[in-house]
Amino acid sequence: MSKQRDDYDNPWKEAIAVYFKSFIAFFFPDIYEQIDWKIPYEFLDNELRQVMRDDELGQREADKLVKVWLTNGQETWVLIHLEVQSQYQSTFAERMYVYNSRIFGIYRKKVASLAILSDSEKSWRPQEYSYDIWGTRVLLRFSMVKLLDYQEDWQTLEASINPFAPIVMAYLKTQATGGKPQERLEWKLSIVKSLFERGYNRSEIRELFRLIDWMMTLPGDLESGFSQEIKRFEEENQMRYDTTFERLARREDIIEILEIRFTELPSELVKAINLVQDSELLRMLHRQAVTIESLSDFQQLISQSQSEENND
């Protein structure tokens, strides 16, 4: 069982590395709005190792130190601490304080400490560390998210297109199905299949599938059945995805041809083209974009075509 807990760290670590921007948007939306995402953020893994050297509290695999820039042009470093243990730990808040103070002491930069708690204790919600001695008071308050809370808002997770929504779903169901492999299989199938309904592109689906598969381990016989079912499901959905990408490419081609022939396009026309769903209509519009005499004629054509489509 301890090995399974250890394995939780690496999927989280990789998910943050791949989807850091989405991670902040999902768990800390107020912070997301204050970060200047036009300036590349930087993971400071080597710096974090230096900070944590000889620390008996220990650095977990999912600990991250990230340098970001605020929208006001001020630099700040963000320490992201992910607690993946499934039990209360008395030294957690102390560790957050130690990390924060060491980073500030070495680099003299403001540090925001963020914690993700994945334990099963509803009442355990550490958010500060403090002590008083002889008139001196030390206090650190840090931002904390409890994954357990998302169980009460499952519909929001199902509806979200943020990559961390299915990751959180996978984590919670992995935690809830310990010792229940058949139930875990059913949830794993459900979560993976939902990736196809969230509007992700192929590379995003592959990456999320890999992370979820890594997290939701199954016994060998069930893993084989899972792989076969997902392969069948992918084959059924391949045609739909090919059609979706074909429509997207066709719309882009139509807009590009019209821009080459008639220079600037009205935004209403671009919007109208992007709203066309019928593949046959898109093929016809593509041909007309090449041969039609004027932009006004094309606008009239697409208006007429959409009117007929709506009447159908």
pLDDT tens digits, one per residue of 151-162: 998 999 998 999
Six token digits for residue 175 = 């935690």
Residue 235 falls inside a structural domain: no
Confidence of residue 145 (pLDDT cuts 50, 70, 90): very high
Domain ends where: 199, 218, 237? 218
* CB 192, CB 212: distance < 8 Å: yes
Do 190 and 80 belong together in one domain?
A: yes
Residue 225 falls inside a structural domain: no
Do 114 and 201 belong together in one domain?
A: yes
pLDDT of residue 109: 83
Nearest to 84 by CA among 106, 103, 107, 59: 59
Six token digits for residue 291 = 């041969």
Domain ends where: 153, 183, 218? 218
User: For the chain, how many structural domains are there in total?
Assistant: 2
Confidence of residue 7 (pLDDT cuts 50, 70, 90): low
Q: Is the pLDDT of residue 102 over 70?
A: yes
Rounded to two decimals, the pTM is: 0.70
C-alpha atoms less than 13 angstroms from C-alpha of 142 in its C-beta half-sphere: 33
Q: Which domain holds residue 287?
A: 245-311
- Phi, psi at 131, each rounded to 5°: -155, 155
Do 96 and 189 belong together in one domain?
A: yes
Do 214 and 249 belong together in one domain?
A: no
Q: Which amino acid, one-letter code, is at 285?
A: L
pLDDT tens for each residue of 202-235: 788 889 988 998 888 888 888 888 888 888 887 7
Do 15 and 137 belong together in one domain?
A: yes
pLDDT tens for each residue of 74-85: 777 777 765 555
Q: What is the mean pLDDT of residues 20-37?
A: 93
Distance separating alpha carbons of residues 5 and 26, to the nearest angstrom? 23
Which segments of 2-159 does DSSP mark as H helices, in order? Answer: 2-18, 20-27, 29-34, 45-51, 92-107, 154-159
